[in-house]
Amino acid sequence: MGEAVRVAVNGATGRMGRVLVDLLRRDRRFELVAAVTSPHDADMGTPVAPGSTLCFSHDWARAGALDVVIDFSGPDGLDAALNHCLAHKVALVVGTTGLGEAREARLDQAASDIPVLRSANFSLGVAVLSRLLRQAAAALAEWDLEIVEAHHGRKEDAPSGTALLLGEAAAAGRGVVLGERAVFAREGRTGPRQAGDIGFAVVRGGDIVGEHAALLIGQGERVELAHRATDRSIFARGAVEAAHWLAGKPAGHYTLDAMLAERSGG
Ligand SMILES: NC(=O)c1ccc[n+]([C@@H]2O[C@H](COP(=O)([O-])OP(=O)(O)OC[C@H]3O[C@@H](n4cnc5c(N)ncnc54)[C@H](OP(=O)(O)O)[C@@H]3O)[C@@H](O)[C@H]2O)c1
């Protein structure tokens, strides 16, 4: 086995960050070098686990030499991680969603200098759902298509990055641009549904980890493709595998789909 991959987690005390820190500490393929928090975090300076010499820190300057950063922080946190990765030529796995166009463009640009793998959803099940939806949307091109998502009440962006990812897959299956067909809100006298629209609906509440359904609605029949996450460790495990695969690759834009295809030999 080769040398351990030196990794940092950004957003390390968040819901995803804590799961990632826990997984990486126990995975012998990795050396967890830094656990980066927001500057306001109450856990800053405390060990990442009882007995560990590694402490949560907000200071990228103390991160040490790295092969890859896994970011599940938020848009501002991602900016700091990206700056560090560009300055030190470190690979970047991005799980943060709700970035907006300017940050997405900056990430695209960064891929000319460092390897970047970004996914709004690191679960294997959603990767397969996305492929199935692309096929179904193409095969049932005249049917109405709606995407419904549900998440816990603390989620800050809507619709979810995964719902948008599924919307992109459906649009690609139909050979259209999502931005020209997406309907994100309906209120008041909306008039009849337009043929070819891709509608989005959002549910927020409680502790829902993440649920997505794509409804293909015809006359007298309906196809439903759905995924339910019950444990957020599925995203962390996918991000860890992505980090291991990405470390050491040349600069460029990489996808989870490409990783899965390479691993399955397809
Ligand atoms: N791609 C996927 O598969 C996937 C799956 C789940 C979640 N996500 C996305 O991942 C992101 C995090 O989700 P989450 O549920 O873990 O959220 P969370 O619990 O709010 O965690 C985010 C963490 O990042 C910290 N943070 C904020 N600003 C920072 C900065 N400048 N530098 C370093 N850390 C900073 C936050 O600290 P404070 O609380 O002190 O601000 C918080 O601890 C969200 O965008 C979410 O949509 C993606």
Residue 143 DSSP code: S
Does any ligand 1 atom lie closer than 6 A to the CB of residue 13? yes
Model confidence at 265, in pLDDT bands (50, 70, 90)? confident
The 10s digit of each residue's pLDDT in 117-169 is 999 889 989 988 999 999 999 999 999 999 999 999 999 999 999 999 999 99
Active site residue 151: yes
Does any ligand 1 atom lie closer than 6 A to the CB of residue 209? no
The 10s digit of each residue's pLDDT in 122-133 is 998 998 899 999
Does any ligand 1 atom lie closer than 6 A to the CB of residue 162? no
Torsion sign (Cα): 104, 101, 121, 24: positive
The 10s digit of each residue's pLDDT in 169-223 is 999 999 999 999 999 999 999 999 999 999 999 999 999 999 999 999 999 999 9
Active site residue 89: no
| Lookup result for tokens 């600069």 | 251
What is the C-alpha to C-alpha distance for residues 62 and 44, in angstroms, rounded to an integer? 13
Catalytic position from the list 151, 212, 227, 244: 151
Burial of 45 from C-beta contacts in 10 A (0-12 / 13-18 / 19+): exposed
Chain centroid to CA 127:
11
- Could you tell me the domains of the chain? 5-118+232-263 (3.40.50.720), 124-229 (3.30.360.10)
